[in-house]
A and B are shown apart, each in its own frame.
Chain A
Amino acid sequence: MNATAVILTVGLGTYLLRVSMFVVLGGRTPPQWIEAPLAYVGPAGIAALVGAMLLTAHGHAGVGSIPAVVAAVVAFVLVRRTGTVMHAFAVGMPVFWTLTVLGV
């Protein structure tokens, strides 16, 4: 099996995962026991990604970068107040750069 075939197989398999519930649920509304927990997919999924990005590296738990963690905390608090996601960059990146320059 050459690399092209592996890549195409991963692509096809990934599509089958993506389309799975579009097919299983068909044109119907999902039953309540599926629908109710789906409300927490966003918070759980986003927080899991953030945890993996900020507090793990190379398959181990640990703070990869203190400036990144501080920038993320500042961004979280700010967006909580303003409700505008773009503010996360507007303040988070300068906080990250400043702490990095200061050698934190």
Chain B
Amino acid sequence: MTVMTIQPVETRPATTRSLLLEGARDMTPMVIGVLPFAVAIGAAVGASNLARTDGLLSGPAILAGSAQLTSVEMLDAGTAPLVVIFSALMINARLVIYSASLAPWFAGHSRWSRLALAIPVVDQLHFTCVPRFERGDLDLRGRTSYYIGAAGWLAGAFVTAQAVTVVIGANAPDALGLEVAAPLALVGLLAKSTADRPSIIAAAAGFVVAVVAVGLPMHTSMLVATLVGIAAGAASAARRGRESS
């Protein structure tokens, strides 16, 4: 009689390659959401009086669409350089929050690796990577592969779509309504990321403040809305913790 060994189901170890692809695959809804925005930015750059080289440089140099679009529009309007820089950096101030949320997952890396991993930090990267990391089955190397796959696909698609639009000077037809893709992708993620009560409260607070506080000076509404949402979620969790203890 032969001895049968029982093969556990799905023991295939995650390789660097498979995790790169998994990161890219999980980022795909965000990429679909970002592409129409990238095309719109490319069209705005192409229509501006900026030198083409400056327009092409702005995408990879800034790697954040809202701040880039604001910079291009302000430069086109002849705004003072320091005002352009200040406005763009205020829009991007929220990235400090994502820096804080992503950094701990890469704490085991050397300083130079950490400096490199910070280059693509952006909202969508947190939204995609952190829920995956929280499942807890990836080691540092696995997390890094997943992150690079996700970041490379997002940044590569964003920069390429822009550059192509600038060069061929086209824009997507308005009739397709492709600008809806970005909120749809985010709404899909929101539906998945609001499982417990504190998360729902955090989302509700962030949503309401972003709408109500839209007129805040110096482009601070997104930063304020995100911080208020985080505080509301944390307060709710703390209250629950006290009630259950």
Contacts and interface: CB of A to CB of B under 8 A. Distances in A.
Interface of A: 1, 3-11, 13-15, 17-23, 25-30, 34-56, 59-61, 65, 67-68, 71-72, 75-80, 83-89, 92-93, 96-97, 100
Given A48-B210, A76-B187, A40 B96 contact: no
Contact of A19 (B82, B118, B212): B118
Contacts of B185: 85, 88-89
Given A6-B75, A7-B54, A20-B96, A49 B210 contact: yes
The 3 closest A-B pairs by CB, nearest first: A44-B229, A40-B233, A88-B188
28 contacts: A1-B81, A3-B51, A6-B75, A8-B61, A9-B81, A17-B99, A18-B98, A18-B121, A19-B114, A22-B99, A22-B103, A22-B117, A27-B107, A27-B108, A27-B111, A38-B230, A40-B199, A42-B199, A44-B203, A45-B94, A45-B98, A46-B203, A47-B202, A47-B205, A52-B221, A77-B191, A80-B191, A92-B184
A46 B234 contact: no
A39 to B, nearest CB: 7
A36 B212 CA distance: 26
Please report whether the interface of chain B is mostly helix, strand, loop or mixed according to DSSP. helix
Contacts of A60: 214-215
B230 A53 contact: no
Contacts of B180: 65, 67-68, 71-72, 92-93, 96
Given A6-B85, A35-B104, A89 B127 contact: no
A28 B111 CA distance: 12
A40 to B, nearest CB: 3
A82 to B, nearest CB: 9
B98 A93 contact: no
Given A17-B93, A40-B233, A44-B233, A53 B186 contact: yes
Contact of A22 (B84, B93, B115, B208): B115
Contacts of A45: 94, 97-98, 123, 126-127, 206, 226, 229
